[in-house]
Structure 1
Amino acid sequence: MKRLICSLLILLPLGAYASSTLRCGSALISLEDSSSVVSSKCGEPISREFVGYREVLDEYGFRHEVVVEEWAYGPRNGMYQFLRFEGNRLIKIESKRGR
């Protein structure tokens, strides 16, 4: 029975998926790109939301807060792309099908 449930879960379509790159026209953006690079390649998002702050450690071990934002693009072929930035660096690309 466990095997059947696991098999069914694999076959179910996912509502969202994460990626490490996103095509914007003929340009490609990748994780770790700056928000200015993303903006220049993809244009202005349909929405831009301030999420909050996150505490991070820098390469020297010092703690500081960075701004967290989420940008939305789309729809493109029925999909919306949600980009999450921490400290002006792209950390997550997620696509979801529109309704």
Structure 2
Amino acid sequence: MRCNTGLVSEGDTTSDVERQCGTPSDRQIIPAVAVSQGQKANAVTVENWVYGPRNGAYYKLKFIDGKLVSIDVSR
């Protein structure tokens, strides 16, 4: 995904993407769920970010534990 003067791609961190693209227009954070005795069993933090509209398109980014795992574009 092109942002400003650079590109972001899968594997980039949330801080890399925010530095390149700025603050998203919408951000949803789904924290990891703690289980018994404060331990996390296969739990991850998921973040869904939305940029747009840019040229009529919305860019939906999904991060798992701070790493970009998918970019979806919709018009």
What TM-score range do you get, normalising by the shorter chain?
0.7 to 0.9
TM-score under structure 2 length normalisation = 0.83
Q: Matched residue pairs, number?
A: 68
Q: Does 1:75 pair with 2:53?
A: yes
Bigger CA radius of gyration: 1
For the residues of structure 2 that align with 1:76 and 1:33, how far apart are their CA atoms?
A: 21
Counterpart secondary structure, 2:28? strand
Which is richer in strand?
Answer: 1
After superposition, give the CA deviation of every residue in 1:58-92 in whole Å (9 maximum; x if it has no partner): xxxxx632200100001111000000000000000
Unaligned runs of 5+ in 2: 34-40
Unaligned runs of 5+ in 1: 1-21, 55-62
Q: Hey, which bits of structure 1, 4+ residues long, moved more than 3 A?
A: 51-54
What's the % identity of the aligned pairs? 40
For the residues of structure 2 that align with 1:33 and 1:82, how far apart are their CA atoms?
A: 14
